[in-house]
Amino acid sequence: MLPDRDAAEEAAEEAAQRFTLDDDPQIVREALAGEDDAEDAQWLVVLEDPEGELDLAALRELAEEYDGWLERE
């Protein structure tokens, strides 16, 4: 979860370089509940990891480099 689109795009590019990914990360805008203003949104960088092979500590570190945080489903 990242604070703006630019950070999300940069983090997605960096994730693609750092990690072995089957697909490019997706960037998704998530509006905050009840807010219509574009500034009241957070950006998700979605990484598919069905086998659970990605290092969560490394993902958390990457998110924090871009003032974001890691969320898992």
| Residue 45 placed within a domain | yes
Residue by residue, pLDDT tens for the chain (73 residues) are 999 999 999 999 999 999 988 889 999 998 766 555 555 688 999 998 888 899 999 999 999 999 999 987 6
pTM of the model: 0.83
| Residue 49 placed within a domain | yes
| Residue 73 placed within a domain | no
| Residue 72 placed within a domain | no
Domain limits for position 12 = 5-65
The structure tokens 């945080």 sit at 69
| Residue 70 placed within a domain | no
Distances (CA, A) of 60 to 10, 32, 37, 69: 15, 22, 28, 6
Instruction: State the pLDDT at residue 68.
Output: 95
Output the six-digit token pair for 3: 């604070």
| Residue 71 placed within a domain | no
Number of residues that make up the chain: 73
Instruction: State the pLDDT at residue 32.
Output: 67
What total number of domains does the chain contain?
1
